């Protein structure tokens, strides 16, 4: 991974993304995949119930009644928008730690478009090299763990044992000053869920993929994600075109 990051002084950030089929299904969150997503999610839930996993079924109904978008797994697109809003540009080297992303060809396309230097263990290693680990989820997770451990910045997008153990481990690295990004999903959900839309001008944000919602064009300063080393604040906007969402970016100077 460091060799692939030669243009960035052998430094890279790591992102732990939880967007596997079962994670999406039991979050009860509605994304933009239409009838296909609904069929897939229903089938995934039925498989769990068929295995006698009734606890998940009970939790499912509780979630449907009580959970808000703050508990929804971030989509690859939303993770990309968050990182771009924080100032990571297309040249950033990223290692993506994850299981099998649900409908990866469709959901991962915009993230690859925003970050062409993104790598996964499947991209870094050959099929022969991964073969001894392939059928063991814990071994595959161990590969992710080791590569993430040496990253300049670690980004966690969802709870679970992996980030909890990992963040504890990283406290002992770099003199206790290892960098991490743990988004406040409650506040992030308010931004993503805002229905206001607008349009200014296109930049190099992806036109492929869809998202539940994007940033408010009101650009409330307390909710903005600011670019590093820049006086410009950016507000991501959403514009619907024949049910396909095209993304725009509006730049402005914040009031001081």
> Which letter does DSSP use for residue 200 in this model?
-
Q: Which two tokens stand for residue 67?
A: 């959970």
Pairing label, strands 233-241, 94-97: unpaired
Q: How confident is the model at residue 39 (pLDDT cuts 50, 70, 90)?
A: confident
Q: How confident is the model at residue 108 (pLDDT cuts 50, 70, 90)?
A: very high
Q: What is the mean pLDDT of residues 108-118?
A: 93
Residue 73 has pLDDT above 90, yes or no: no
> Which letter does DSSP use for residue 217 in this model?
T
Integer Cα distance of 130 and 144 in angstroms: 12
Residue 211 · residue 32 · CB < 8 Å: yes
More confidently predicted of 8 and 120: 120
Residue 69 · residue 212 · CB < 8 Å: yes
Q: What is the mean pLDDT of residues 100-115?
A: 90
pLDDT attached to residue 194: 61
Integer Cα distance of 252 and 214 in angstroms: 17
Q: What is the mean pLDDT of residues 140-157?
A: 90
Mean model confidence pLDDT for the chain: 70
Q: How confident is the model at residue 196 (pLDDT cuts 50, 70, 90)?
A: low
Strands (E), 34-117: 94-97
CA angle 193, 19, 41 (to 5 degrees): 85
Give me the residue spans of the domains in the chain: 3-20+72-181, 21-67, 189-252
pLDDT digits (tens, 9 = 90+) for 211-251: 333 333 333 322 333 322 233 333 333 333 332 233 333 33
Instruction: Please name the fold of domain 3-20+72-181.
Output: Rossmann fold (3.40.50)
pLDDT attached to residue 21: 83
Q: What is the mean pLDDT of residues 43-57?
A: 65
Q: What is the mean pLDDT of residues 112-135?
A: 92
């Amino acid at each position: 991974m460091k060799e692939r990051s030669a243009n960035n002084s052998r430094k890279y950030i790591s992102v732990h993304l939880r967007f596997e089929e079962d994670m999406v299904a039991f979050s009860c969150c509605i994304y933009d995949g239409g009838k296909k997503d609904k069929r897939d999610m229903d089938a995934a839930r039925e498989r769990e119930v068929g295995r006698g996993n009734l606890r998940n079924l009970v939790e499912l109904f509780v979630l449907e009644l009580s959970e808000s978008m703050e508990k929804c797994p971030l989509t690859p697109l939303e993770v990309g928008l968050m990182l771009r809003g924080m100032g990571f540009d297309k040249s950033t080297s990223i290692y993506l730690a994850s299981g099998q992303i649900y409908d990866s060809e469709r959901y991962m396309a915009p993230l690859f478009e925003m970050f062409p230097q993104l790598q996964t263990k499947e991209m870094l290693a050959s099929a022969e090299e991964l073969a001894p680990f392939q059928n063991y989820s814990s071994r595959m997770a161990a590969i992710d763990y080791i590569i993430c451990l040496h990253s300049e910045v670690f980004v966690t997008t969802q709870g679970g044992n992996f980030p909890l153990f990992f963040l504890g481990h990283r406290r002992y690295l770099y003199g206790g000053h290892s960098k991490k990004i743990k988004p406040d999903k409650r506040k992030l959900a308010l931004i993503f869920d805002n229905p206001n839309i607008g349009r200014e001008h296109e930049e190099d944000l992806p036109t492929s993929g869809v998202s539940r919602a994007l940033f408010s064009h009101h650009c409330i300063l307390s909710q903005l994600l600011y670019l590093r080393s820049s006086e410009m604040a950016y507000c991501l906007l959403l514009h619907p075109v024949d049910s396909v969402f095209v993304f725009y970016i509006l730049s402005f100077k914040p009031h001081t």
